[in-house]
C-alpha cells in the first residue's frame, strides 16, 4: 500500500493511503484542485481535505447523522458518471460551522457522492434539500 504525505496547515503532516484519494473529474463547486481525501475525526464530522492545496479543508458530515429522512434525487445526466451500485456510494454534505451550535448548517442541496475513488458534487433535485439546513434545529430555535 503506497501513501502520500501532505503538510496540512490544519493538521500537520498527514499520510493518505493511495486508495483513499478521491479524484473529482469535474472539481468541486467554487474550489480548485481535483484530488481530495476524507480525514476522519471523532464524532459526526470529518474533513474533505485537498491534496493539491494543503490549506484547504472543508468540514463534512454524513447527512443521515442529522437528517434521518434526507433523500438525494439525481438527474440522469448527473448520475451518468457514477457507475457504482447506489448502496456503494458514500454521501457527504459540506458543513458551515459557526461560533455557536445554532450557527452550524449543512448544504443538503449540493451533496458530494463518492464511489470507486471518484467524487462528484451534484445538485440534489429533492424539494426538501436546502442549501442551509440547521444541524442543531432545537438550539437554533431556542436562540
Q: What is the CATH number of the domain that holds 91?
A: 2.30.290.10
- Confidence category of residue 107, pLDDT binned at 50, 70, 90: very high
Q: State the Cα–Cα distance between residues 6 and 77, nearest whole angstrom.
A: 34
CA atoms within 13 A of residue 136's CA, in its CB half-sphere = 13
Q: pLDDT at position 79, please?
A: 74
- Which three-class secondary structure state does DSSP give residue 87? helix
How many domains does one find in the chain? Answer: 1
Q: Rounded mean pLDDT of 35-49? A: 92
Q: List own/partner pairs for 2-7 with CB under 8 A and 24 or more apart.
A: 4/51, 6/49, 6/51, 6/54, 7/54
Q: What is the pTM of this model?
A: 0.90
Q: State the Cα–Cα distance between residues 85 and 102, nearest whole angstrom.
A: 36
CA 50 to chain CA centroid, Å, is: 12
pLDDT tens string 74-90:
887 877 777 777 788 99
Dump strand ranges (E) for 30-135. 35-40, 45-50, 57-61, 90-96, 105-106, 112-115, 118-121, 133-134
Q: State the Cα–Cα distance between residues 103 and 6, nearest whole angstrom.
A: 30
pLDDT tens string 60-79:
999 999 999 999 998 878 77
- Residues of the domain holding 107: 3-142
Q: State the Cα–Cα distance between residues 30 and 9, nearest whole angstrom.
A: 20
Amino acid at each position: 500500500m503506497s501513501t502520500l504525505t501532505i503538510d496540512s496547515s490544519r493538521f500537520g503532516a498527514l499520510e493518505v493511503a493511495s486508495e483513499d484519494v478521491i479524484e473529482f473529474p469535474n472539481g468541486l463547486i467554487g474550489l480548485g484542485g481535483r484530488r481530495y481525501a476524507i480525514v476522519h475525526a471523532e464524532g459526526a464530522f470529518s474533513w474533505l481535505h485537498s491534496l493539491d492545496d494543503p490549506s484547504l479543508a472543508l468540514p463534512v458530515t454524513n447527512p443521515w447523522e442529522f437528517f434521518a429522512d434526507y433523500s438525494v434525487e439525481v438527474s440522469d445526466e448527473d448520475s451518468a458518471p457514477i457507475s457504482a451500485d447506489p448502496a456503494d456510494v458514500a454521501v457527504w454534505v459540506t458543513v458551515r460551522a459557526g461560533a455557536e451550535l445554532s450557527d452550524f448548517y449543512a448544504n443538503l442541496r449540493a451533496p458530494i457522492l463518492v464511489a470507486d475513488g471518484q467524487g462528484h458534487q451534484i445538485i440534489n433535485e429533492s424539494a426538501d434539500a436546502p442549501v442551509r439546513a440547521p444541524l442543531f434545529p432545537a438550539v437554533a430555535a431556542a436562540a
